[in-house]
Chain A
Amino acid sequence: MALSDLAQYVANAIALGSIYALVAIGYNVVYGIVKLMNMSHASIFMLASFLAMWGVYRYSIPMWISFPVALLVVAALNVVIESVAYRPLRGFRISAYTSAVAVGVMIENFVVFVLTSVPKGFPRPGFVTGVFDVRGITLPMVTLITIPAAAILFLSLFYLTRRTRIGKAMRAISEDMETASLMGVEVNRVISFAFGLSAVYAAAGAFLWGWRFPVVTPFIGAMPGLKAFIAAVMGGIGSLTGSLVGGFVLGLAEVMLVAVFPRLSGWRDALAYILLIAFLLLRPGGIFNIRLEEEKV
């Protein structure tokens, strides 16, 4: 493998990995606080790209309005979903989980209903479609945009959780919800905020994903959603730094599998699941071995 090929593969792996990591953050923010595996996250991801596409093609809204609006709508929707479908079930983990599955299927099929399952193109602004060429290393523009965009989003998340009031409240709740609430933290408001935040990151991931693979169907969320989930488990579920590392490791593993064994490219998704199961069995705390509390379901 030539060096320039390797550089291309690594750049692709980092871009792919940072999208997984962005979506994985959404799982982790929620899991860290309410201990819910939010299986509707993949549908939120899909809905964000669907709304952005719909705004541009159906109502001819310019992209710079349509994308932020889609992002805000899914964030608001996720807050509503939390208060309706998860809040009453707090403490009943398997029921809350089933409820999340139901919400995911609901959103997905609502879009089937509106869009039918015919694939539509995803709108791409002009600056992401080009190809960039440095000394024989050709990189699609979208890769070059994905990496700094994801980096900015990560840094703002770290700033949010470490420095701001609401971020500290989120960390306090994830340590101990009861004590935090006794200390005067408004638990429900903080949880609502966390769900909104989770949807914002899902939407950002969805847009970057859509610029990379510009197709919208009601089912596009499933694969990146599950991959991100696997990245979250690999990094240690509930840990934000972990989701970053997990995303990169998964992205690298996938890209390298295809690069080294092109014949096995169909097994790319299976590899992700095999990694998932290996981690669950051998190192359930993820790469950094984060301990998960064992609670009764």
Chain B
Amino acid sequence: MQTKFKVGQAGRIVAVVLVLLFLMWGNDRLNPFIVGLLHVWGINVILAVSFNLIYGYTGQFSLGHAGLAAVGGYTIALLTMSPETKQLIYLLEPCVWPVSEIQLPFVAALLVSGLLGAVVGFLIGVPALTLRGDYLVIATLGFSEIIRLFFVNTPGLCNGALGLKNVPTQAGLGWTWGLAILTILVTKALVDSSYGRALRAIREDEVAAEAVGVNLSYHKLMSFVVSAFFAAVGGALLVELWGSVDPSVFTTAFNTGVITIVVLGGVGSITGSVIAAGIFTGVSELLRAAEYPRTVFGIDLPAMPGLRTFLFACLLLLLILYYRRGLMGRRELSWDAIASRVQSWMKRRTS
């Protein structure tokens, strides 16, 4: 090994630029199905990586992700819809005043969504993170459901159970993947810093971490708030993609999807989550097609609603039982690792 040129640094920058350029180019040129697929992949990356921060690195199992994503989704919908649309879709009660008139540009609305998600995350985190293990799981589930019921029960603000539709879809692939890459970079920076070491110490043993001077509540809360910010951004992008939002989306099934991705990729591996999000998205869309009625080799297959979620639950169960390490374990796929692989392979070839 003679050279120590920075393959990692260069590779990373080149890859990011190339990916973003390709996506911005492809946004209007690629097949709409592929574009949709790439969108969902990117959003799943945001949701999974942010969940991995709190679950994989900090060791706190939270079921609040769905609620936080819902906060982001509703916020962006309310902020980007035009006053005219709002007048049209509020059937139960007229829209309350300040919300009915507000319309912000996409970027501002997205930022507000993320920040509001972080604020809600903070408000949930302060009480909930004093709890451990089982109690934390139940408490975050409770908060998540309260958020959902808030949307159901405020017809003047969020249109109740009908949800919001005709949300303008403005985010291109560049936005989705730009934010996905931002999520990855922020999480990576956080995890590699002294904060990250504190978080991992908490994951391994809270008592020991506290004994060596790690401030438990501060570090857990910080991790939770960052995770909440990105969960809300993910939720906001999801609503941008669908053009609609209603409270029934953000239930346990939503969490199950995110957990499946993280477990499949490896709990505590960012690149694992990215790869797993891609696999999950692809398989999910293929199975969505299988849910419709069709004829294969002369056999009439009926519509099979529920099949997709059923199979994913089976997959999650099998992963948890037999493959808890996931694809990557706690390792990361990096350019340095690839470069050293390639170098050692070439060395073997030449010698």
Contacts and interface: CB of A to CB of B under 8 A. Distances in A.
Partners in one complex: yes
Interface of A: 35, 37, 84-85, 88-89, 92-95, 97-99, 101-106, 108-113, 116-117, 218, 222, 226, 229, 233, 237, 266-267, 269-270, 273-274, 276-277, 280-281, 284, 292, 294-297
Given A116-B306, A284-B135, 14 more contacts: A95-B320, A97-B61, A101-B256, A105-B310, A109-B307, A113-B307, A117-B305, A226-B145, A229-B138, A267-B149, A277-B128, A280-B131, A296-B205, A297-B133
B259 interface: yes
B316 interface: yes
Contacts of B313: 102-103, 105-106, 109
Contacts of A116: 305-306
Q: Which 6 pairs between the two chains have the least Cβ-Cβ distance? A: A112-B306, A109-B310, A106-B313, A105-B313, A109-B306, A102-B316
Interface string B126-152: 011011111101110011011001101
B142 A37 contact: no
Contacts of B304: 113
A229 B304 CA distance: 31
A292 B309 CA distance: 34
Contact of A112 (B61, B137, B305, B320): B305
Contacts of B14: none
Contacts of A274: 146
B309 A105 contact: yes
Contacts of A89: 320-321
Interface in B104-137: 127-128, 130-135, 137
B142 A277 contact: yes
A285 to B, nearest CB: 11
A246 to B, nearest CB: 13
B141 to A, nearest CB: 8
Contacts of A88: 321
B165 interface: no
Contacts of B263: 98
Contacts of A267: 149, 153
Which interface class (under 10, 10 to 19, 20 to 34, 35 or more) fits B?
35 or more
Contacts of A222: 252
A281 B253 CA distance: 26
Interface in B292-335: 304-307, 309-310, 312-314, 316-317, 320-321, 324
Contacts of B137: 37, 97
B305 A277 contact: no
A276 B131 CA distance: 13
Given A93-B134, A99-B317, A103-B317, A277 B310 contact: no
Contacts of A117: 305-306
Chain B interface mostly: helix
Contacts of B253: 105
27 contacts: A89-B321, A94-B133, A95-B324, A98-B263, A99-B320, A101-B316, A102-B256, A105-B253, A109-B306, A109-B309, A109-B310, A109-B313, A111-B306, A112-B310, A233-B138, A266-B152, A269-B145, A270-B145, A270-B150, A273-B143, A273-B145, A276-B138, A276-B142, A277-B143, A280-B138, A294-B132, A294-B133
Nearest to A270: B149
B133 A269 contact: no
A221 B163 CA distance: 23
B142 A273 contact: yes
A173 B133 CA distance: 21
Nearest to A273: B142
A113 B305 contact: yes
Contacts of A93: 133-134
A3 B205 CA distance: 57
B146 A98 contact: no
Contacts of B205: 296
B272 to A, nearest CB: 16
Residue among B133, B138, B150 with max Cβ neighbours from chain A (10 Å): B138
Decide if the interface of chain A is mainly helix, strand, loop or mixed. Answer: helix
B213 to A, nearest CB: 21
A147 B307 CA distance: 39
A284 B259 contact: no
B305 A106 contact: no
Contacts of B152: 266
A248 B142 CA distance: 20
A229 B320 CA distance: 24
A233 B139 CA distance: 11
B320 A105 contact: no
Nearest to B251: A222
A276 to B, nearest CB: 5
Given A113-B304, A273-B145, A273-B146, A101 B135 contact: no
A281 B314 contact: no
Identify which of A85, A109, A112 gathers the most chain B CB atoms within 10 Å of its CB. A109
Interface in B52-92: 59, 61
B256 to A, nearest CB: 5
Given A112-B306, A270-B153, A280 B320 contact: no
Nearest to A97: B137
B127 A85 contact: no
Nearest to B322: A88
A254 to B, nearest CB: 13
B61 A101 contact: no
A2 to B, nearest CB: 29
Contacts of A109: 306-307, 309-310, 313
Contacts of B143: 273, 277
Contacts of B149: 266-267, 269-270, 273
B314 A106 contact: yes
A230 to B, nearest CB: 8
Nearest to B154: A266
Nearest to B61: A94
A110 B312 CA distance: 12
